[in-house]
Amino acid sequence: MKVLVNGTGLIGGSVIRNMRKAHPQLNIIGSDVNKANLYYLLKKHLIDHAEPFMKAASQADVIILATPVNVIIKNLHQLTLIHLKPSVLVTDVGSSKQLILKNAQQLMKKGVHFLGGHPFSGSHLTGSENSRLNLFQQRAYFLVKGNATEKDVKLFEWLMNGSDAIFKMISAEHHDQLLSFMSHLPHVVAFSLIDTIAPQLRKMGIKPAIGAGGIRDTTRIAMGDPKVWASIFNSNSKLITDQINRFEQKLNDFKKIIEHHDVNKMEKDIDQDNHVRKSMGKDKSK
């Protein structure tokens, strides 16, 4: 079986590692505009070949699109222009499913089977050298059916059966709603927090490295890939702006409590938040 992974950075590289470990016999082809990613994977014998996307796609049995959302959309349109294997399965790892599913319609009308996918895991680290086998371990891996058959779903789960991911079927609408507040909003907050802090540090002549655990923990995800996150924000903009409005209201509520020196209310709210955070478990993404 020939599997093409287009985009071989952190997520794509981790997908490749898991497929290679579970199924050493697979013929895995890597495609990436970043040649350093491909060189690393070839050197580690994790991919068999590195080829241009369109050339490799025409020969593949499974195509995994692991690029930023805007590039996934471009790839979906490119695939409509070439002859693909009749039984090919196309899937992706993008963080915004409604827009991707909409742009996969033309491909599906041609009879190509499409299965939307998104592993709910990641890291602020980038590149294939930071990919790892345990990235998806005990993390949700969302699947949006598109026009994929049960056989297609089982095939993909088989390819990834060494990852210990928890596969969950979900609608594109529910996925994007969930991600808007569980992933996208936290990144907006982290980037905005850095934008708030950095000018004040510069004005005081203090280097950012002085920051202690609190600021480091709350802004770690602000080190995420700019292209990836700009593409995500753009692709799920309506739901993300709705979440920003909700967060602004919560900030204003907290501001009023502080202004009124309502210590009892502060303690009560913080205690409730502590319990919710503890229920989320430990951070495995560092």
Q: Which of 68, 107, 67 is nearest to 84 (CA)?
A: 107
Q: Quickly state the pLDDT bin for 207 (edges 50, 70, 90).
A: confident
The pLDDT value given to residue 284:
55
Task: To the nearest 10°, report the CA torsion of 208, 270, 275, 172.
Answer: -70
Q: Quickly state the pLDDT bin for 68 (edges 50, 70, 90).
A: very high
C-alpha 144/C-alpha 156 separation (Å) is: 12
pLDDT in tens, 103-133: 999 999 999 999 999 999 988 889 999 999 9
Average pLDDT rounded to a whole number, residues 163-176:
98
pLDDT exceeds 50 at position 286: no
Q: Which of 40-44, 148-152, 210-214, 282-286 has the lowest mean pLDDT?
A: 282-286
Tokens of 203: 């004005």
pLDDT exceeds 80 at position 233: yes
Q: Which CATH number fits domain 2-170: 3.40.50.880, 3.40.50.620, 2.60.40.60, 3.40.50.720?
A: 3.40.50.720
pLDDT exceeds 70 at position 58: yes
Average pLDDT rounded to a whole number, residues 206-220:
83
Query: Of all residues in the chain, what percent carry a pLDDT higher than 90?
Result: 92
Tokens of 84: 């693909």
The pLDDT value given to residue 211:
66
Q: Which CATH number fits domain 175-279: 3.20.20.80, 2.60.40.10, 1.10.3300.10, 1.10.3660.10?
A: 1.10.3660.10
Query: What are the sequence ranges of the domains in the chain?
Result: 2-170, 175-279
Average pLDDT rounded to a whole number, residues 257-275:
97
Tokens of 139: 């993390």
pTM of the model: 0.89
Q: Kindly tell me the number of DSSP H helices and DSSP E strands found in the chain.
A: 13, 8
Average pLDDT rounded to a whole number, residues 55-76:
98
- Give the list of residues 6+ apart from residue 249 with CB closer than 8 angstroms, or none: none
Q: Which of 243, 155, 249, 225 is nearest to 11 (CA)?
A: 225
Q: What residues form DSSP beta bridges with 20?
A: none
The pLDDT value given to residue 214:
85
Q: Which of 165-179, 186-200, 203-217, 247-261 has the lowest mean pLDDT?
A: 203-217
The pLDDT value given to residue 143:
99
pLDDT exceeds 90 at position 246: yes
